[in-house]
Amino acid sequence: MTKIKQILLMPVTSYFLISLLLTFILPLISRALHISSVIRIGWGFIIVNGIAAILFGLQVARKKRPAWLILIFPFLFTLAVYFLYGKYAYWFALIYLCLSYLSYGLKKPISVAK
């Protein structure tokens, strides 16, 4: 039991589970609730996932986690697009990567050489 608890408390696991929720589970729930595609794309892809990408970048920089963690969300979104959506949605993965990287760079402390 403690091994499972240790795995769940790892930063990689938390970023992965939140990304999984945002990229696969939330769209499937919205589809099951018969929410129109326009609303799903507008609220889900643009607003919710955009804010999540920014927060991932800020969180990784603030907690001084490895920078590769910002790749988890765009990568899982790309997989979700491949299985669930049209080809137009690939651009969103690039946008999420840019948003995460920019927010990571804005929050990352600057080291000054002496």
Reported for 89-95, long-range contacts at CB under 8 A and 24+ positions apart, including other chains, are 89/45, 92/45, 92/46, 92/49, 95/50, 95/53
Name the residue type at position 36: S
The per-residue pLDDT for range 21-78, each reduced to its tens digit, is 988 888 888 888 998 888 888 888 889 999 999 999 999 998 888 989 999 999 999 9
How many domains does the structure of the chain reveal?
1
- Cα-Cα end-to-end distance for the chain: 48
Q: How many helices (H) and strands (E) does the chain have?
A: 7, 0
Please report whether residue 20 resides in a domain.
Answer: yes
Please report whether residue 26 resides in a domain.
Answer: yes
Please report whether residue 1 resides in a domain.
Answer: no
Residue 99: per-residue pLDDT:
95
Name the residue type at position 104: Y
Please report whether residue 114 resides in a domain.
Answer: no
Helix (H/G/I), strand (E/B), else coil: 86: coil
Please report whether residue 72 resides in a domain.
Answer: yes
In this prediction the pTM is 0.84
Residues of the domain holding 103: 12-107
